[in-house]
Structure 1
Amino acid sequence: MAKVQDSTPKERYVPNGLKFAFGGLAGMAATCVVQPLDLIKTRMQLSGGGRTSFVVAGEIVAREGFVALYAGLSAGLLRQATYTTTRLGVYNWLFDSYKERHGGTAPGFGIKTALGIAAGSIGAFVGTPAEVALIRMTADGRLPAEQRRNYKNVVDALLRIVREEGVLKLWRGATPTVSRAMVVNAAQLSTYSQAREIFAKRVPDGITLHFCASMVSGLITTIASMPVDIIKTRIQNAAKGESQLVVVTSLLRNEGVLSLWKGFLPYYARLGPHTVLTFIFLEQFNAAYLKYY
């Protein structure tokens, strides 16, 4: 009697290496869209005044030109190529590994949060040098001409930091950077997955679903992560020799606790769409791979 072949279709999957690559490419594509918001957020976090994001944006365009809104783009792309590649790749790998070990059962909210923390901390450490370069390049235009660092691009920034300050300065502010990433990813990756499951019952699958889940995720992530983010920004932009403790105490003493949420609007306006675009691009890359390969 002839042996009957199993007609059950095999589950298709994206190889681990491509999960990392697609994560980085998705983040880089999203950064090209939201880079001006990142620059405005950084300028507001470094400013001692109470100016709105619209005023800051207007001043940048008036003094430095429209192209200045994309200052530091090369550093932003390198940050995504290192940080986002690592964090999304590690998260997806850990997520799939959990499902394999538990008979295809997806992890619950608590496990998702733990996976996000692990992925975020690893990605942040890898991406800290690009983060330092990004903060300095986006902040440069607010300084007097004689005090500007005038980095030509991210490669020039990294080489000059090593040459002028030492290789360890590439990881300046690594502790708050990793702490921020742990908070961001614990909130972002877990709440995105959870919000998507909730909205899926009411919203059809597609860009609308991704948008709703991402904006909810972005709001929660913004509230939770901004204090760590502004401390990280101040430390990474600090002058040579200025200790991290001095930077933090000076911030709280001179500007108050509420300054920890300075730049909330551009931060959220950047994080929400960036999350939307990143996941949309990521899912499109995955879908294209499964369709054609």
Structure 2
Amino acid sequence: MALVFGVEKKTVPTYMKYVMGGTSGMLATCIVQPLDLLKTRMQISGTLGTREYKSSYEVLSKIFKNEGMLSLYNGLSAGLVKQATYSTARMGVFQMELDWYRKNYESDPSLVAAMTMGIVAGAFGAFFGNPAEVALVRMMADNRLMPEDRRNYKNVGDAFARIVKDEGVLALWRGCLPTVGRAMVVNMIQLSSYSMIKNQFREFLNEGVPLHLSAATISSLLTSLASMPLDMAKTRIQQMRVIDGKPEYSGTIDVLKKVLKNEGAFAMWKGFTPYLIRMGPHTVFSFVFLEQMNKAYTKHVLEDSASDSTTS
């Protein structure tokens, strides 16, 4: 996505690229939010002492039965704020890196350079998006708890205010290290694999949604396999409670060790199916929305109907 985002340097102003990048992520989140909730519920299954769900289908059926269909969108406000911060920051930092590279080297970045810039941009985006990520995880997990244990955040603003009041400002960055680590892995693999696969598939598919969907699906599989354990650790740290002044986990390694010991190695990939299904469509939808906004801005604001956006 970041590679696509940086190509309109002669037409679309930099600030509009930030705006469109964040907006495209927010629109995609509106579509895939239920899958994100399923993934989160699967990842924290077992933290209450029992294995709550055997499959994503069981999660879905229990949500419909006990909470209602609209609960699939629990935490949507936090998800939108996350995209408004994470996606915008990631795209913005990558654009700055891209402009710097082109100015100093007078060429587009190589694959290795693009991977490196993606890692750095992902780290910055994850840091700025972490508060919304904490609120999102907690809001999506709340209904699985007993009524007396629920946090009952009204919205993402209420979540921020209560977290700061009850736990301190730094609690908004709980799980920041695994979040940043995951973002670095995701960006490194996703940017490079998506670009390479897309170029290979151009021999068989014309430029368009089928090509983007095919490349994004394979890229998402590789990215999901590599980043899932870190995502699971991040999720558990962000929703953990502090009991008698002692947090449930001391860090990412502690989470992974306890999961391996108590739940087995395959628990590292709990929620893999909705995670994979979410990542592919989110990448594709973000790309499509971004492309259409680019075209609309070029046509109606820059009044250049002949301009065609580049997609690689």
Q: Please give the TM-score of this superposition, normalised by the length of structure 2.
A: 0.87
Q: Give the whole-Å Cα distance in 1 for the aligned partners of 2:97 and 2:291.
A: 18
Aligned partners of 1:290 and 1:144: how far apart in 2?
52
Q: Distance in 1 between matches of 2:17 and 2:109?
A: 19
Q: Residues 11 and 124 from structure 1, CA distance in 2 versus in 1: closer, same or farther, beyond 3 angstroms? A: closer
Q: Say yes or no: does 1:198 pair with 2:200.
A: yes
Distance in 2 between residues matched to 1:158 and 1:143, nearest whole Å: 20
**Partner secondary structure for residue 244 of structure 1:** coil
Deviations 1:151-184 (A, max 9, x none): 0000000000000110110000111110011011
Offset of residue 12 of structure 1: 3.5
1:43-64 Cα deviation digits (max 9, x unpaired)? 0000023511111111111100
- Say which is worse superposed, 213-222 or 152-161, in terms of deviation: 213-222
Contact 2:256/2:268 (CA < 8 Å) preserved in 1? no
In structure 1, the partner of 2:27 is 29
Distance 2:62 2:9 in 1: 54
Matched, 1:43 2:37: no
Structure 2 CA distance for aligned equivalents of residues 215 and 92 of structure 1 = 25
Q: Structure 1: state its 5+ residue gaps.
A: 1-9
Match of 1:278 among 286, 292, 310: 286
Aligned partner of 2:250 among 230, 244, 265: 244
Q: What's the counterpart of residue 267 of structure 2?
A: 259
Whether 1:55 and 2:58 are equivalent positions in the alignment is yes
Q: Does structure 1 retain, via aligned residues, the 8 Å contact 2:42–2:56?
A: yes
Note the C-alpha offset of 1:131: 0.3
Instruction: Give deviations 1:84-122, integer Å, cap 9, x for gaps.
Output: 11112322342344234333x332221121111010000
Equivalent residue for 1:14, pick from 12, 15, 18: 12
- Residues 102 and 165 of structure 1, relative CA distance in 2, 3 Å threshold: same
Report the aligned-residue RMSD: 1.7
Which stretch shifts more, 11-20 or 52-61?
11-20
Greater Cα offset, 136-145 or 254-263: 254-263
Offset of residue 290 of structure 1: 1.7
Tell me by how many angstroms 1:247 deviates.
Answer: 4.0
Structure-2 residue corresponding to 1:146 = 148
1:227 aligned to 226, 229, 254, which one? 229
Q: How far 1:203 sits from its partner (Å)? A: 1.1
Q: Are 1:94 and 2:100 an aligned pair?
A: no
Q: How does 1:159-170 map to 2 (within 5 A)?
A: 159-170=161-172
Match of 1:183 in 2: 185
Cα–Cα, structure 1 residues 138 and 87, in superposed 2: closer, same or farther, change >3 Å? same
Larger mean Cα displacement after TM superposition, 119-128 or 202-211: 202-211
Inter-partner Cα distance in structure 1 for 2:233 and 2:12: 37
User: TM-score, with normalisation over the residues of structure 1?
Assistant: 0.92
Aligned residues: 283
Decide which moves more: 127-136 or 242-251.
242-251
1:95 to 1:197, Cα distance in 2 relative to 1, 3 A? farther
Distance 2:171 2:199 in 1: 42
Q: Partner of 2:11: helix, strand, or coil?
A: coil
CA distance, structure 2, for counterparts of residue 198 and residue 175 of structure 1:
35
Question: Percent same amino acid at aligned positions?
Answer: 52
2: CA distance between counterparts of 1:29 and 1:201? 31
Counterpart residue number, 1:3: none
* Residues 20, 90 of structure 1: 8 Å contact kept: no
